[in-house]
Amino acid sequence: MQPFIQASNAILRQHGYRLTPQRHMILCVIQEAGGHLSIDQILERVQQQNPYVSLSTIYRTIDLLKSVDLIHESHLPGEQPMYETIEGHAHHHLICRRCRATIHLDQELLGNLNEQLQKQYQFHGISLGLVAAGYCNNCWTILQQEQNSNLEQE
């Protein structure tokens, strides 16, 4: 069993859950992707291995894995949520609104914000997940060119 799956099994057991074959399969699919997957992508990949795993099983498992901090959900308003495994306590992304390129940011970016929040607001067990949306340099250049072209046509 892979180290990530072994650690996940231990975390699930700490919370009173078992690593069922379906949970194992879903967790492996997300972990092996090495990036972000939508529910549809997870379902497609899981059903390639076992066509009897239902969409409701995927949703229930995703909810469980999120609740025990094994996977992270990120999404922009109006977009379908994307899922990936968690490595560490903080999880930050820059996401391009045009091409959907995703850049993982250094966990140190926000410094000790979680400690500051705990101290100032007496809020405990904080995990941070920043999603910043904008445009990558390539898409920004294309958008600027399109705007300039539109202005010239008017």
99 among annotated binding-site residues: yes
Q: Note whether 134 and 78 are same-domain residues.
A: no
**Predicted local distance difference test score (pLDDT) of residue 22:** 94
Q: Is 28 annotated as a binding residue?
A: no
How many whole angstroms from its chain centre is CA 40? 14
Distance between CA atoms of 1 and 86, rounded to whole angstroms? 18
Q: How many domains, in total, are found in the chain?
A: 2
Taking only the tens place, the pLDDT of each residue in 62-76 is 999 999 888 888 876
Rg (CA), the chain: 19
CATH code of the domain in which 21 resides: 1.10.10.10
Q: pLDDT for 29-62, tens place per residue?
A: 998 987 788 999 999 999 999 999 999 999 999 9
* Residue where a domain terminates, one of 87, 119, 143: 87
The domain boundary residue, chosen from 54, 69, 87: 87
Is the model's pLDDT at 129 over the cut of 90? Answer: no
Helix, strand or coil for residue 105? strand
Cα(108)–Cα(119) distance, rounded to whole angstroms? 18
Question: Is 96 labelled a binding residue?
Answer: yes
Tell me the torsion sign for CA atoms 37, 41, 45, 47: positive
Vertex 8: Cα angle to 7 and 14 (nearest 5)? 90
Give the pLDDT confidence score for residue 91 in this predicted structure. Answer: 67
Looking at the structure, do residues 140 and 109 belong to the same domain, yes or no? yes
Average predicted confidence (pLDDT) for the chain: 86
Q: Which domain holds residue 67?
A: 1-87
> pLDDT value at position 112?
82
